[in-house]
Amino acid sequence: MDIPKEYVEYLKGGFYKCLCLFEEANEGLTSYINSFSYEIYGLRYLVEEKKEIVITLLSVLEHFYDDSLEPNPNIKVIRSEVFRCISLINNLSKVGDEN
């Protein structure tokens, strides 16, 4: 299945929003991560070719959820993971280009 470019950009923006919410210690962070994880979970059924990427994204979001409950999360690590996820999403967007 080809993933629309707009949706790829939306996913990347979702991870970047996590970083912004962490940096500003936003009260809605935990709820946002929970909702975003719920959506990404459904994506794994649509992207059979590279579902391991989706599983990695979900794993990172699960860790972000745990971090969001901590009083002093490590923003440096979170930032690094966000940009790694954005890179993974770029690879996910290449599904269908390999044939």
Q: Is 28 exposed, middle or buried (0-12, 13-18, 19+ CB in 10 A)?
A: exposed
Q: What is the pLDDT along the chain (99 residues), one digit of tens a residue?
A: 577 889 889 999 999 999 999 999 999 999 999 999 999 998 888 877 788 999 999 999 999 999 999 999 999 999 999 999 999 999 877 654 544
* Domain coordinates in residue numbering, the chain: 5-92
* Gap between the Cα atoms of 56 and 62, Å rounded: 10
| pTM of this prediction exceeds 0.95 | no
3-class state of residue 51 by DSSP: helix
